[in-house]
Amino acid sequence: MRDHPTDLAGRLRAGSADFAATVRPAPPEAIRARGSRRRRRQVLTAAVVALAIGAGGAGTAYASLGQPGRAGHGAPAARPTAGSSAPVSPGRPDIVAVTTRGELVVLDPLSGEARRILVAGGVAGGAVAVSPDGRTAYFAARHGCQDEIESVPVAGGRPEPVTAGVLPAVSPDGKELAFVRQGNGTGCHHLATSGDEVVIRHLPGGGETVLEPMAKPGPPHPVSRLSWSPDSRRLLVSAGPAQDNEGWQLVQVDPATTRYYLAGAAPGNAAVPFPGLAGRYYREGVYLPDGDLLVNQVCCSGLPARVTSTLILEVTPSGQLVRQVAIGFRNRDHTSLDADPTGHWLLYLSGPDLFLSLDGAAPFKLTTGLTAAAWS
């Protein structure tokens, strides 16, 4: 028996090594045989299911894929699109995504398969953004202790560094890149996130506007998502709480008139309200092409806060419900909310699973293994 170290890691490792020495594993041939039997069973089951669907006629392709569900709000209405007649069944654009293995890929929007690998590794999760012309993807890559935003052609090519930061968001007019820069710049972070700044970089010239949380020094308010309004004039900031028992806030900011991103820090900064609802907050939100918002509304109880419900909703900027898109899983984060340029196709990540919804109808799972995604 070895000496016991006093730290948790050392004790766990020592104990686990003792335990591992007592494990008598089955021979590898037995494991391979078990795997081969399993494979044969699955092939047989798939053949039977295919036969059954063929005999039964129109089956719903996504009915069994564990969708989070949706509360009924009647038949979803087609979202009006300014200046264009929306197609009845619009085609899905490609999806640019970050995988859990740190790759940046282009996904086939019908199968969910990776169509192209743009960057083979080292891409940080959180957010990925595509320019309005669909040609350039912006993502964050980790280099040592430094997060750097880089750009890469969606058609494939060499990544180019843009600036230090994370969570890129390109304005619809293509002139501004908003992103988050962590306050202590190039330092390595451990278990604390401190001093996020929202930075707006003017893409043609390269000049920057920096938004602080508020005028006076205070606790850090981490930012989890940035989104531009359709007219490229306002920025929607999903800002985190300083304390565990406080909700996140969704703040509409006019970068031309303010230097702060928290609600109440400047006269023009407005948090998206909850008409008639208490004890809830928006965990993340993005603008839709018609100016409404796609949000993840979370509802908590207890101290520290415990999630009791998580909903994906479309709301107006004044917080009025337009429709409920999905009921999420309480034990998962719902991130990467995004709408395609027509506003018909919505996507979001539920944990590592990518869900799509057409016109707010019941979402279906397209694929899994992702940490960020956006329409191309």
Q: How far is CA 320 from the centre of its chain?
A: 23
Kind of pairing between the strands at 196-202 and 208-211: antiparallel
Q: Is 102 left (phi over 0), alpha (psi -120 to 50) or beta?
A: left
Reduced to 3 states, what is the DSSP secondary structure of residue 136? strand
Nearest residue (CB) to another protein, 32 versus 202: 32
Nearest residue (CB) to another protein, 73 versus 142: 142
Angle at 148 (CA atoms; ends 146, 154), nearest 5 degrees: 150
220 binds another protein (CB under 8 A): no
188 binds another protein (CB under 8 A): yes
**Side chain identity at residue 193, one-letter code:** T
Cα gap 325→7, rounded to integer Å: 47
Q: How far is the CB of 192 from another protein (least distance, A)?
A: 8
Neighbours of 252 (CB within 10 A): 20
Q: How far is the CB of 203 from another protein (least distance, A)?
A: 27
Cα gap 217→344, rounded to integer Å: 42
Nearest residue (CB) to another protein, 115 versus 143: 143
Stretch that binds another protein, among 70-78, 182-190, 213-221, 295-303 (CB under 8 A): 182-190
Cα gap 369→346, rounded to integer Å: 18
Contact with another protein (CB under 8 A): which of 67, 297, 310, 335? 335
Is the Cβ–Cβ distance between 148 and 139 less than 8 Å?
no
**Token pair of 73 as six digits:** 């709000």
- The H or E element containing residue 335 is strand 334-339
What is the total count of residues that contact another protein (CB under 8 A)?
A: 66
Contact with another protein (CB under 8 A): which of 74, 144, 205, 267? 144
* Interface pattern 73-112 for another protein (x via CB under 8 A): ---------------------------xxxx---------
Backbone angles phi, psi at 353, to 5 degrees: -90, 135
Stretch that binds another protein, among 83-91, 123-131, 267-275, 314-322 (CB under 8 A): 123-131
Nearest residue (CB) to another protein, 131 versus 336: 336
Nearest residue (CB) to another protein, 125 versus 255: 125
Contact with another protein (CB under 8 A): which of 159, 213, 222, 341? 222
Q: How far is CA 17 from the centre of its chain?
A: 38
Q: Which of residues 249-288 bind another protein (CB under 8 A)?
A: none
Cα gap 218→187, rounded to integer Å: 20
Q: Is 39 left (phi over 0), alpha (psi -120 to 50) or beta?
A: alpha
Contact with another protein (CB under 8 A): which of 76, 134, 273, 352? 352
Nearest residue (CB) to another protein, 358 versus 366: 366
Is the Cβ–Cβ distance between 246 and 233 less than 8 Å?
no
Q: Which of residues 29-68 bind another protein (CB under 8 A)?
A: 29, 31-32, 34-36, 38-39, 42
Stretch that binds another protein, among 18-26, 50-58, 84-92, 252-260 (CB under 8 A): 18-26
Nearest residue (CB) to another protein, 117 versus 215: 117
306 binds another protein (CB under 8 A): no
DSSP state of 19: H
Name residue 314's beta-bridge partners.
294, 323
Nearest residue (CB) to another protein, 109 versus 126: 126
Site for another protein, rule CB under 8 A: 1, 4, 6-23, 25-26, 28-29, 31-32, 34-36, 38-39, 42, 100-103, 120-122, 124-126, 142-145, 188-191, 193, 222, 224, 240, 244, 304, 331-333, 335, 351-353, 368-369, 371
